[in-house]
Each structure stands twice: as structure tokens, then as C-alpha cells.
Amino acid sequence: MKLSWRNFYLDFSQRTHIMGILNVTPDSFSDGGIYFDRRVAIERAFKMIEEGADIIDIGGESTRPGSEPITIEEELRRTIPVIEAVTRECNIPISIDTYKSEVAQRALDARASMVNDISGLRFDPEMPKVVSEYKVPVVIMHIRGTPKNMQMNPEYEALIPEIMDYLREGIRIAIKAGIAEDKIIIDPGIGFGKTVDHNLNIIKNLNKFTLLEKPILIGPSRKAFLGKILGDVPVTERLEGTAAVVAVSIMNGANMVRVHDVKQMARVAKIADAIKRPQNS
């Protein structure tokens, strides 16, 4: 449960790590347009580092339900200048949130140091090769379908086993391409082809994913299932719901949480870690 590469070292056995979300998009479900301005995005990245982010995850294409893909050129235009500016002045890992190998390669050339692939290495067959060549960590996430159709009546015969099989196959693809086993992170994909009940089931059973022997990332931040549980509240009123899921997920085995509200969730994680850690008594 440790990641070591380049000049970076993350020890998940000591505490939960915080991945801060930076969407440089006009249409992301939660913060679309807020950080689309390059200058504002760069300022937000440094603010998240100040608030306790261990990793910044930069994405240039919305993967909200029903979203349409954008061109590689547009994704590069949105992300690369921000990555270049942030990596010039910060000393934490910068992750590129993309399923396109060319975007990943260009981002890694711009000194990004991780890849977060929502497709679990499935949408672009060249992605495993790129990650392997650059010897960086990769997040393998589960998704049912594509962002455009994933929420159209998602069904499972056996939710947890099916997600585990998908992640297990993603790990196999990664290793076959030469990606080191100790550079693989798994993510069960909250909200990506799941109903409210599916999401709750994943959170309740998150400890089962420890059988895959990889660090577990979970990304519940501000997602629609929280709004539904809380009575159809808007995105701006899902902070407490996010905090509750973050705390429970940590208790159930999460090693990293991907969040928008870094300052608040870093505090939640600190308390959850203190409760979970063996006490001297």
C-alpha cells in the first residue's frame, strides 16, 4: 500500500490521501465553467495544495451522465497549459484525468505524473502502453457503458463480483502491458453506470475490494445519488453528504478520496483515520 515513483512517495498505510479535483471544462456536473479560465484554474490548484491535497487530478473533458466526447485537440488545449503552469511551481503529483492515450502522453510530457482512466484501460488500447512507457501510476476505474449512456437503466446480476471482475481484468491488462503491480490503483466508479442503491452497496461493501490487494480510490464528491438521498438538493448543498460517504468509505477500506472540497474532506479524513487507527490503551 505504498506508491513510489520519480520524486514522489505516498504511504497509504499511514493515512488516507486526498485527490483534489480540477475540472478545466465548461460543462462538468459540479463545477463546470468555474475553472475554465486558465488563470483561475491555476489559482485553484495552488489553493487545493494549501488546503491539503496530496494529488491534483486535472481533467479537460466532462464525463457527467449524457456527456458527449470532445476532440483530442480541445482536451489538450484545456489541460496542457494548466499542467505546465502548476508543475512548474508545485511538488505534488499531478494526475491527468483522461481515457485518451494521446492526451495522457502529452500530459506526461508536460510533467504530469499519474493517469486516471475512467474506462479502466478499455476505451483506448494504446493507453496501457503509454502508462507503461512513462512508468507512472494509473487509476483503473469501473464503468458500465460510456458517459453518454452509462445511466440508462444500469443493471447487474451480481454488482460487487461484476465490478471486481472488471477491475481484475483491468489489472491484468495493465500488467500485460508492463505496468508495475505496485503502480496500480483501483476505483469502483461511484456514479458511473450505477443507481443510488448500487452506489450505496459499493460503499457498504468497499472492504471486499481489498481482496484485489491494490490501493482503493473512491470518488463520491457532490454526486447525484447524494442529492437524491437528501431530497433532490442541488450540487451546492451536498457537502455533508460527501463528508458522510468519505468517512464511511475510509472506515471500509478507502485509501484515497477524490473530492472537490479539499479543506473540508481533508479534515473528515483526519478524523476518520484517527478513529480507524489502532489506539494505544
Would you call 258 a catalytic residue per the annotation?
yes
Phi, psi of 94 (to 5 degrees): -110, 125
Helix, strand counts (H, E) of the chain: 9, 10
CB 132 within 8 A of CB 144: no
Cβ atoms within 10 A of the Cβ of 120, count?
Answer: 25
* Cα–Cα dist 268/247, whole Å: 6
Dihedral, CA atoms, 107, 74, 24, 170, nearest 10 degrees?
Answer: -50
Would you call 228 a catalytic residue per the annotation?
no
* Cα–Cα dist 80/32, whole Å: 18
Residue reference for cell 503509454: 130
Task: Give the active site residue among 183, 194, 223, 238.
Answer: 223
* Cα–Cα dist 107/81, whole Å: 9
Task: Give the active site residue among 258, 267, 270, 277.
Answer: 258
Report which residue type is found at 268.
V
Residues identified as active-site? 223, 258
